[in-house]
Homo-oligomer: A and B are copies of this chain.
Amino acid sequence: MIAFLSDFGHVDPYVGIVKGVIHSIVNDTHVIDLTHEIEPGNIFQASFVLGISYSYFPKGTIFLCVVDPGVGSDRRGIVGAGGGYFFVGPDNGIFSHVSNELDLKFVEIKNKDLFLSEVSVTFHGRDVFGPVAAHLEKGVRLEDIGPGVEDITILNIPKPIKKGNSIQGEILYFDRFGNAITNIPLDLFDGSCKQDVKCLSISVKGHKFPVVDCYESGKGRGVFGILGSHGFLELSIYLGSVRSRLGVNRGDKVEIFCRPLDMD
């Protein structure tokens, strides 16, 4: 199976074209869309999304990841393998989050026999990465794609800081519901707090908010924190958008306290 992540959007036929190329090379595969609405050129967002998604796919899945503002320059194309998965894309940091979790070995994409016969300077998803993913699905070996590389590009991923009874982190991602996903992992909380989230509270932009045990418990309570499904603390509003209510942005600081604050 191939899982496909890109910033190609849904208006242009680019995703469909890449799928046509893949099925021209390997007929009986399945291409699943992870998302194609990464902000144009936003490598960090793509890396984060891949990091919270890959482990839910069956072993053997090939992740085709094309957010590639350097297309046509001398940036390398790479394939990573590890943990039972494969990752195909440009060497621009897009595999930073998965590299944090999996022990990946990378090769550089060099074997032109695997590409389309004409390679454009602007669409390597179609001409290089899609075909390489299809050949992987068909059984090509890593060593036939190109030589090993070790020094792949890794983005700086901000880490939460534990101090006393609080953890300081920041907002990494907003989803369609307006939920703000932070970089504070749930496994930093001690056991009793995870059992009873009433002992937790959050501070953002000088305001303090409670933590609740499910969305519906937050109904009518404005902003609240919640132990999110991606393994991180999230900020939410029941049927509303934290992003627009608080006017927060990516990178804004969040602090979580392991006992309740006096609320606003």
Contacts and interface: CB of A to CB of B under 8 A. Distances in A.
Contact of A229 (B5, B9, B120, B239): B120
**Chain A to chain B: the 3 pairs with minimum beta-carbon distance, closest first:** A72-B214, A123-B229, A120-B229
Contact of A57 (B20, B127, B229, B238): B20
Interface stretch (A32-40, A135-143, A249-257): A32-40
A234 B123 CA distance: 13
Contact of A71 (B19, B24, B175, B215): B215
A56 B214 contact: no
16 contacts: A1-B23, A5-B13, A10-B10, A11-B175, A13-B53, A16-B33, A20-B61, A40-B239, A69-B238, A71-B216, A72-B213, A72-B214, A73-B214, A120-B227, A120-B228, A121-B213
Contacts of A61: 20
A32 B52 CA distance: 23
Contacts of A32: 16, 19-20, 23
Interface of A: 1, 3, 5, 8-17, 19-21, 23-24, 27, 30, 32-37, 40-41, 49, 52-53, 56-58, 61, 69-73, 75, 120-123, 126-127, 175-177, 213-217, 226-229, 234, 238-239
Given A16-B3, A57-B24, A58-B20, A70 B36 contact: no
A73 B215 contact: yes
Contacts of A238: 69
Contacts of A37: 10-11
B122 A176 contact: no
Contacts of A3: 16, 20
Given A61-B20, A228-B120, A11 B40 contact: no
A12 to B, nearest CB: 5
A121 B214 contact: yes
Contacts of A215: 69-73, 121-122
A226 to B, nearest CB: 6
B56 A126 contact: yes
A14 to B, nearest CB: 8
A50 to B, nearest CB: 8
A49 B13 contact: yes
A41 B239 contact: yes
Contacts of A58: 20, 23-24, 27
Contacts of A14: 175
Contacts of A34: 13, 16-17
